[in-house]
Structure 1
């Protein structure tokens, strides 16, 4: 009586593995280069010291798509006030805020250089890290779609 149960487990396991493979290919596949770029970013001494962790989310056609805490619609000042609480309430042109912005941009440039040091990456494209804002309870404007 054990044989039919074992046989059915093998059949169900095989079906589950096939479905998992179809799901992975449908979802864009497993891209080890993204993991490699993220490992490079994680191991970089300059980036390790910074509170925000830049990360790659996609690597396709030589372009590494990476997250950052601001974009054209979201200024970095809310972000800077969270990672450096002593900036809370300071104006964007305050010298401390300007210095913090320069540090952010220096780390961003470093992250881009680290990403393109990977053999599969020739350039970097930036996307807003909306998950970071959500995690810190900061409401963002709705995403605008351009057609």
Structure 2
């Protein structure tokens, strides 16, 4: 015979509360203070925040900060601009508007790198293509 155990509302509440508390604890323990501090610095920069792509720290290890980037040999900058600056005419890569957009991207990425290097303990910055950002915009980067 099959025996069914029914939990009371109070028992159900305690189980859900325990699960939420456990997940919150796991999330808290996985936080890296160096990454959080660096991301905080990047978020306080007005120029970086005004740019359509938000640079962020992925990893800080042995004096090397790995920052996200929309630029990579794997992805044409035209794909990035089609997403980040949809009003930009990307048909002519040599147009003054495209050249200005590329210079602006290089400038904000350089600024993000300089801000990272200015943090205690960081001597070098590496860049990693932001696959999740592209995926969230419907472009899979392999």
| Cα distance in 2 between the residues matched to 1:89 and 1:98 | 10
Deviations 1:110-136 (Å, cap 9, x if unpaired)?
000111111021110000001111111
Aligned to 2:107: 106
Answer whether contact 1:33 1:120 (CA < 8 A) is retained: no
Aligned to 1:129: 130
Normalising by structure 1, report the TM-score.
0.73
**Distance apart, 1:68 and its partner CA:** 0.4
Please, which runs of 5 or more residues in structure 1 have no aligned partner?
1-8, 143-147
Aligned to 2:63: 62
Answer whether contact 1:92 1:98 (CA < 8 A) is retained: yes
RMSD: 2.0
Aligned to 1:40: 41
Normalising by structure 2, report the TM-score.
0.76
Deviations 1:85-104 (Å, cap 9, x if unpaired)?
12244222222111101000
Between Structure 1 and Structure 2, how many residues are aligned?
120
Aligned to 1:84: 85
Deviations 1:61-91 (Å, cap 9, x if unpaired)?
1000000002122121111122211224422
